[in-house]
Chains A and B, each alone.
Chain A
Amino acid sequence: MDRKQTNNDLLTVKGLTKYFETRAGFLEKPTLVRAVDGVDLKVGHKDVLGLVGESGCGKSTMGRSILRLIEPTDGEIIFDSEDVMKADSRKLRSLKRRMQIIFQDPFSSLNPRKRVIDTVGEPLIIHEIAKRRDLRDRVVSILEKVGLSSDSLYRYPHEFSGGQRQRIGIARALAVEPVFIVADEPLSALDVSIQAQIINLLQDLQRSLGISFLFISHDLKVVRYFSERVAVMYLGIIVETGLTEDIFTNPKHPYTEALLSAIPIPDPSTKRKRIILPGDVPNPSQIPSGCRFHPRCPYRFDPCDKFRPKTTDIKGGHLVECHLRG
């Protein structure tokens, strides 16, 4: 499948940046945390882009910035040929009928004092999709899509298990019939057996409703299963992006290599090279010079700590930012 880089893309993000200012004390100098530091992304129609990276690399911040749930510091977000960054509050509301988000923690993502019908029905009321009297039927049909029965309508979130709660969260996002969903680690708070159910549910929905996903995860196996393309994030930037198969079989960035080598393999007799990265992810308020991966990179050489590498196209949209490939 070749990626046509046309304006056919559903979502185009250019140079997205989010800096947080933190102040240690009243008179201290504020320090700048560069959570997302100039990210380019494209998500096509009916496309699934997996976004992987360690915790704290800015994945969630980016997902939320795209929906302007966090106000980005800078950058350009074009969704369905509309400029999200310049949208006023009315425009933004109508955009939110088309782009939605699913959260990580199904325990904090549902209002504990609202029944399922209120939670799932709220978007219908906000966007005046359904009248109060046919709200119930609408909610029932949405719940069916995510595999919940109408018995759950008048129950509260605490009466459900984690997997069921996540289904409710998905139902809420589906209520407005979006074309694009940011799934912010939707599986990582769930048991493994439930994870499989939810990922299958997402895949079914993606196929039957043609929804595009930005699928944020640190579980590479799930990303490989679900995504068509993958972007690897490290310290606020994307270091490698490409088709899922290319990334997984032929990683070009040393960081991607290291990440992939950390995937557990079910067969213990399989021999493999396990790359252990020294040190921790640097603090995003003190980003290393040059290539930001250089302090931990096993292959670093002369230019790495001096210049930031350019993005190189290996083949057909497989982009990598590394001096080794430049």
Chain B
Amino acid sequence: MKLFWQRFKKNRLAVAGGVVVLILFIIAIFASLISPYDPNVIDKKHVLEPPSLKHPFGTDELGRDIMSRVIWGSRISISVGFVAVGIATIIGIILGAISGYYGGWLDSVIMRFVDIMLSIPTFFLILAVIAFLGPSILNIMIIIGLTSWMGVARLVRAEFLTLKEREFVIAARGLGAKDIRIIFGHIMPNSLSPVIVSAILGVASAILVESALSFLGIGVQPPTPSWGNILTSGKDNIEIAWWLSVFPGLSILITVLTYNLVGEGVRDAIDPRLKV
């Protein structure tokens, strides 16, 4: 662990990314305190105003304060990212562990299922499912989670395959340990580092998917602010109000970039040889 911090600290980009991720977290948690206005209050007198001291990010076509909406939107984006990745990671770990540990036909079935899932264009699957279930934040979290666990499952399976042949695992079997103890006590703790990395990187891509869905109008529904749906109104007014697109766009860019930097930093710090 100490070694991990030493190596992580050396990677300045990753540390900077970490700081930004932390700041974004604080902003999201304290959105109600930080945001200067109520994100949903309509002000007909100040429609489409460019950035000013009063409205640092300008206002939209209904006179809502963009800065407040971006701040509240970070809450949505980050929570969607984390919950979706949480779901994906749990499914991936369970299926990957079963697949790698027990092998045989179970492994074949699970891995073919992974192949099938990977062969379906995720985005269109999400579109189709949302068309049925209707867009809500919860549905989006679940659906993104259900369509992005395959990478984790493969990673965990590969780790299990190598670890279960290691002598300390054989020793545990030699001591008469049950499967549950071997899986959770011996193999799992040693297989988590690549999973952590893929989870951090997964948050970034989940945020992107959520933004894209919201942008298309089938994600988070207005008036709830999300970076994606702010962009939608930005698109309609792009010729007269650049600030409507630029600020949420930058937020997405910065968030995704910093998560990726942190993810890569963690990866290199955990194991310098591991380059996914």
Contacts and interface: CB of A to CB of B under 8 A. Distances in A.
A178 B169 CA distance: 19
A96 B177 CA distance: 10
Contacts of B177: 122, 126
A15 B189 CA distance: 39
B239 interface: no
Scoring B166, B167, B181, B185 by chain A CB atoms within 10 A of each residue's CB, the highest score goes to B167
Contacts of B171: 101, 103, 109, 169, 172
B175 A123 contact: yes
Nearest to B169: A111
Given A111-B190, A112-B190, A96 B174 contact: yes
Contact of B168 (A64, A92, A111, A126): A111
Contact of A122 (B170, B175, B189): B175
Interface in A116-165: 122-123, 126-127
Nearest to B189: A113
B55 to A, nearest CB: 52
A208 interface: no
Contacts of A93: 176
Given A111-B186, A112-B190, A113-B190, A69 B167 contact: no
Interface string A266-278: 0000000000000
B204 to A, nearest CB: 28
Contacts of B112: none
Interface string A64-77: 10010100000000
Majority secondary structure of chain A interface residues (helix, strand, loop or mixed): loop
Contacts of B166: 108
Interface string A93-112: 11011001101110011111
A108 B172 contact: no
B173 interface: yes
A142 to B, nearest CB: 13
Nearest to B188: A113
B175 A64 contact: no
A249 B254 CA distance: 77
Contact of B167 (A92, A96, A108): A108
Contacts of A126: 175-178, 181
B176 A127 contact: yes
A94 B176 CA distance: 8
B231 to A, nearest CB: 44
Given A113-B189, A113-B190, A126-B181, A105 B167 contact: yes
Nearest to A184: B167
B168 A108 contact: yes
A198 interface: no
Interface string B114-153: 0000000000000000000000000000000000000000
A176 interface: yes
A96 B170 contact: no
Contact of B174 (A69, A94, A104, A127): A69
Interface of A: 64, 67, 69, 92-94, 96-97, 100-101, 103-105, 108-114, 122-123, 126-127, 169, 172, 176
17 contacts: A69-B170, A69-B173, A92-B176, A96-B175, A96-B176, A101-B174, A103-B167, A105-B167, A108-B167, A109-B167, A109-B171, A111-B189, A126-B175, A126-B177, A126-B178, A127-B175, A172-B175
Instruction: Give me the 9 closest cross-chain CB pairs, A-B, nearest first.
Output: A109-B167, A96-B176, A93-B176, A111-B168, A123-B175, A103-B167, A108-B167, A113-B189, A101-B174
